[in-house]
């Protein structure tokens, strides 16, 4: 991009702040009307709710604002590229997106979308697409043996709570599975009868790596047309093993970042956000792991019947002296006993825990891994920052409906 074009992009920041979502809503509407085959690529629930348009508008705004310092976008682009790689986004799809994005800007901004603005944004999008295509190609090149969707069979279904079931996925070809880093996810693609096309979602693995299967654990959601958990309902409607689904190679950059360290780890889970954290917990306490770090799992759910993996977590804690567990339950069930079925009644409140014994705030290298819905994450993050925890020691992943990983951006660029 020329310096003049960079200046033009910078000048459009206030425009994107005001009209960004109008642009992205127009973009998605026109593109999906002209290319209905892309409905299988995009999350149509997020299309229906407007969430995807809102997130893409935010991403475009961030890109324009950081056009002189693209390094600042590194974490966001890393998240998006991992997701794109898991969905097998292709370079030609970037061309389609670019065409309809520029046309949407023209439609919404009208005469304000001058030729200089058009040329600048065409160059800016081309630059961004090139960066992302190269990054995604690099991710794919790391796994030459598995670059496309792969057929898996659901070999076991296990009910974990009133809302959550685990699905054990085994490759149809029988070849050993590559390992993954605890915390990562796979994309699962399934045909959705009520939509008439496939949809894919990202589900974190909830077990330690195995060469024979991946375990994902999915929360069931109920709704009407385009329910918040449309794919989770399709999976939960499977009553017996044998169903074939398509699965991508494990991706994601929410994982244990320093497995060679001995510093404490605090895992904070909200609802179905327990899934990647359970994978981390089981890995850290597995016989194959030589690392014995102080670990505290803090798990908050609405009720004890909605809570998954209670026995699995309790057994892990009892058999590992370095592991402690604290359960918060919003509304205990009749017969639940404090100190046995749960430790604290009510919503998660980290102020009720000991700063040193429970949260290891006296240890400057303590790592905090948080997973759950967005408000839950923001609450925990605010608390930790007030306690002067370094932001680099706080790792988070947002979970959407059904327990799929949203990371910080669901937008496709």
- List the catalytic residues: 94, 136
- List 274's β-bridge partners, or say none: none
Q: Are 365 and 182 in contact (CB under 8 A)?
A: no
The tokens describing 272, both together, are: 């179905």
- Rg of the chain on CA atoms, in Å: 22
Distance from C-alpha of 125 to C-alpha of 102, rounded to nearest angstrom: 9
Beta carbons within 10 angstroms of residue 291's beta carbon? 16
Q: Quote the longest CA-to-CA distance of the chain.
A: 70
Tokens 């085959």 found at: 37
Alpha-helical segments (H) within 66-182: 74-87, 91-109, 115-141
Element (H, E) at 329: strand 323-329
Q: Secondary structure of 22-61 in the HEC alphabet?
A: HHHHHHHHHHHHHCHHHHHCCCHHHHHHCHHHHHHHHHHH
Nearest of 262, 291, 252, 193 to residue 408 by alpha carbon: 252
- List 165's β-bridge partners, or say none: 159, 218
- With a CB cutoff of 8 Å and minimum separation 6, the contacts of 400 are 228, 373, 406, 410
Q: Are 232 and 43 in contact (CB under 8 A)?
A: no
Angle at 89 between CA 86 and CA 90, to 5 degrees: 140
- List 247's β-bridge partners, or say none: 150, 188
Nearest of 42, 44, 143 to residue 93 by alpha carbon: 42
């Amino acid at each position: 991009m020329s310096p003049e074009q960079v200046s033009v992009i910078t000048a459009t920041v206030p425009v994107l702040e005001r009209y960004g979502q109008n642009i992205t809503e127009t973009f998605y509407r026109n593109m999906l009307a002209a290319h209905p085959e892309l409905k299988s690529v995009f999350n149509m629930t997020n299309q229906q709710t407007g969430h995807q348009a809102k997130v893409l508008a935010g991403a475009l705004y961030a890109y324009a604002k950081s056009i002189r310092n693209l390094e600042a976008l590194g974490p966001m682009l890393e998240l998006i590229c991992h997701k794109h790689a898991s969905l097998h986004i292709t370079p030609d799809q970037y061309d389609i997106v670019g065409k309809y994005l520029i046309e949407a800007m023209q439609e919404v901004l009208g005469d304000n979308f001058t030729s200089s603005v058009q040329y600048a944004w065409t160059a800016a999008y081309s630059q961004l697409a090139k960066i992302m295509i190269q990054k995604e190609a690099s991710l794919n090149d790391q796994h030459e043996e598995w670059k496309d969707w792969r057929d898996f069979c659901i070999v076991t279904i296990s009910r974990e709570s009133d809302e959550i079931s685990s699905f054990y996925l085994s490759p149809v070809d029988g070849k050993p599975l590559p390992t993954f880093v605890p915390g990562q996810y796979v994309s699962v693609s399934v045909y959705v009868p009520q939509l008439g096309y496939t949809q894919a979602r990202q589900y974190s693995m909830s077990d330690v790596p195995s060469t024979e299967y991946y375990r994902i654990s999915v929360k069931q959601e109920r709704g009407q047309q385009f329910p918040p958990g449309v794919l989770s309902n399709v999976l939960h409607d499977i009553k017996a093993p044998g169903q074939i689904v398509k699965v991508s190679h494990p991706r994601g950059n929410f994982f244990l970042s320093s497995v060679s360290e001995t510093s404490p780890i605090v895992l904070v889970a909200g609802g179905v956000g327990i899934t990647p954290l359970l994978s981390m917990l089981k890995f850290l306490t597995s016989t194959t792991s030589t690392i014995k770090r102080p670990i505290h799992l803090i798990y908050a759910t609405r009720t004890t019947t909605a809570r998954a993996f209670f026995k699995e977590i309790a057994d892990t804690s009892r058999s590992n002296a370095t592991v402690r567990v604290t359960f918060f339950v919003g509304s205990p069930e009749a017969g639940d006993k404090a100190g046995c079925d749960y430790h604290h009644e009510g919503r998660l409140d980290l102020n009720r825990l000991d700063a040193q014994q429970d949260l290891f705030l006296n240890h400057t290298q303590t790592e905090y891994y948080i997973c759950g819905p967005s408000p839950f994450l923001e609450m925990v993050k605010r608390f930790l920052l007030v306690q002067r925890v370094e932001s680099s020691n706080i790792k988070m992943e947002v979970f959407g409906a059904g327990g799929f990983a949203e990371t910080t951006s669901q937008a496709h660029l």
